[in-house]
Amino acid sequence: MKKRNLLLLAVAMSATAMAQNPIVQTYYTADPAPMVHDGTVYLYTSHDEDVTIKNFFTMNDWRCYSSKDMVNWTDHGAVLSYTDFEWSRGDAWAGQCVYRNGKYYFYVPVNQKNGGNAIGVAVSDSPTGPFKDALGKPLLASFGYIDPTVFIDDDGQAYLYWGNPNLWYVKLNEDMLSYDQEVGIVKDPLNKEGFHVRYRDADKRPSAYEEAPWLYKRNDQYYLFYAAGGVPEHLAYSTSSKPTGPWVYGDTIMHIIRDRGAFTNHPGVIDYEGKTYLFYHNGALPGGGGFKRSVCVDELTFNPDGSIPVIPPTKEGVQAVRNLNPFKRVEAETIAWSKGLKTAKDPQTGMYVSQIHNGDYLKVQAVDFNKGAKRFNVSASASTQGGSIEIRLDAPDGQLLGTCTIGQTDGWKTFSSKIQKVKGVHDVYLVFKGGSDELFQLDWWMLKK
C-alpha cells in the first residue's frame, strides 16, 4: 500500500513538472491575440475576473504577456481597460493589437453607455502600453460588433474582420483609425460553401460560423480561423486566394474541449522561429469554467496541400525555442508555471510577484546553467517576518541547490545565497517556505558565477 501511494505521488509530481497549459496561472485569461514584433511574441488577452457577477462574463481590462522562448511568459499587467474609453460602460471582450508606422493599434469591443456593441481603437508607443483611446468615439458600432481581428497584407492594405452572429469586414486606411468609405462595411454571406452547416440550428443561422475570426496568410493562401458550431464551440477554418474571400470551408481544427470547462473558444495563430502556433483557451485552471477561462498554446501543422489536421489540445503545451539565460536579470513575473501566486504593479517597481504563501512556487523552464553558478540573488520585499526560497531543479521537490533566507525589509532589498554548482539545461523551481501569512514579494532574480 505504501509503495502504491509513493507511485501515485511520483506520477502527480511528474504531471506537475510536465504541465505547461494553460500558459498563465496567476489570472484567468481568455481570447488570445498573439503578435510577433522584433523577435518577441506579445500575447494580448482578455481577463475573466476571479469573482463573477450575475454568473456571466465579468471582464474589465486586457492584459499583455511576452516571451522569446514560447514557454516562459513575462506578465506586463493590465495595459488597457474599458474605463479608458469614456463612452464605454463595460465588457472588455476579445481584441487584437497590431504594429504599424511606429505605433501599436489595439482594436477592442466594448459596450457603449448609450447601449449597443462597439469597436474602439486604442494606440500606444509601446507594445506593453499604456494604451489610450485614439478617437474619443467608436470606430464601428452596431449589434453584434464584437471580436475584431486586424490583418495587414504584404501590399500594406489592412483589413478588420469582426462579428457575431454575422461576419463583417472593412478595409482600413493607412492611418489605421478610419476605413475606406467607398467600399464601406461588407457583410460576408456565410454560406455553406464557405463556412459549412450548423447542426445545432435552433437559432437558424446560415452556417457553422459563430464568432472570433482570425485572419492569417501562408504561401499566398488566406486562412480565416474562427469559433464554430454554436455553443459549445469548436475551432474551424476556411481558405481563400484573397483576403476578402470568397471563402471555401476547410475543416474542424480543434474539437469541443469537453473535459476542461469552457463552452467558448478563440483562435490566435502566429509564425515564430520556424513554427506555427495556435493559441486558444479552455477552463482547466482550478476554479475555471465557462466564465473563468485560461489561454493555452499548441503547435499547428499543415498537410502538404495546405490543409490543417485536427489539433488535439494538450496539457504539455510546446517546447522552448531557446534557453533562458539566468545570468541576466530575470523578472520574477517571468513564469512558465506557478502555484498560488498573483502579480501586481506599482509605479516605482513595475510588475512583481505577490501573494506568496508557504508551499507556493514558480517554475522557469529551460534555464541554461552553462558552466555553473555559485550564487542566487533576488530582490524581495517583506513587510512581515519574511521566509525563504528553495532553489530546486526540475520539480518542486527536485534537487535542492540552495536556500535563500528573506528577512523583513523596509522596501525592496537584494538577498543572496550560495548554491550548488550545476551544469546543463534545467527547469528551475523557486519554492517558497515560511509561516501562515503572506511571506514576501519578488521583483527579480539572477544567478552569479
What pLDDT, in 10s, does the model give residues 95-132? Answer: 999 999 999 999 999 999 999 999 999 999 999 999 99
The beta strands (E) that lie in 347-398 are given as 350-354, 361-368, 375-381, 387-393
The answer as to whether 109 is a domain residue is yes
2: burial class by Cβ within 10 Å (0-12, 13-18, 19+)?
exposed
> Is the distance from CB of 278 to CB of 257 less than 8 angstroms?
no
At 61, the pLDDT band (50, 70, 90 cuts) reads very high
The answer as to whether 314 is a domain residue is no
Question: Looking at the 3D structure of the chain, how many domains does it have?
Answer: 2
The answer as to whether 201 is a domain residue is yes
The answer as to whether 320 is a domain residue is no
Per-residue pLDDT tens digits for 265-275: 999 999 999 99
pLDDT at residue number 200? 64
Characterise 386 by phi-psi region: left (phi > 0), alpha (psi -120 to 50), beta (else).
left
Q: In percent, how much of the chain has pLDDT > 90?
A: 90
pLDDT at residue number 15? 41
Q: What is the DSSP letter of 307?
A: -
The answer as to whether 319 is a domain residue is no
Between CA 372 and CA 63 the distance in angstroms is 35
The answer as to whether 425 is a domain residue is yes
**Are residues 265 and 381 both part of a single domain?**
no
What would the mean pLDDT of 425-443 be, rounded to a whole number?
97
> Is the distance from CB of 252 to CB of 234 less than 8 angstroms?
yes
Between CA 313 and CA 268 the distance in angstroms is 14
Say how many C-beta atoms besides its own lie within 10 A of residue 422's C-beta.
Answer: 13
Between CA 17 and CA 71 the distance in angstroms is 13
**Are residues 293 and 340 both part of a single domain?**
no
The answer as to whether 262 is a domain residue is yes
pLDDT at residue number 19? 67
What would the mean pLDDT of 171-178 be, rounded to a whole number?
98
List the grid coordinates of 440.
514576501
**Are residues 248 and 138 both part of a single domain?**
yes
List the grid coordinates of 222.
488566406
Average pLDDT value over all residues in the chain: 94
pLDDT at residue number 6? 33
Grid-cell match 452547416, residue found: 197
The answer as to whether 148 is a domain residue is yes
- Its domain, for residue 337, covers 330-448
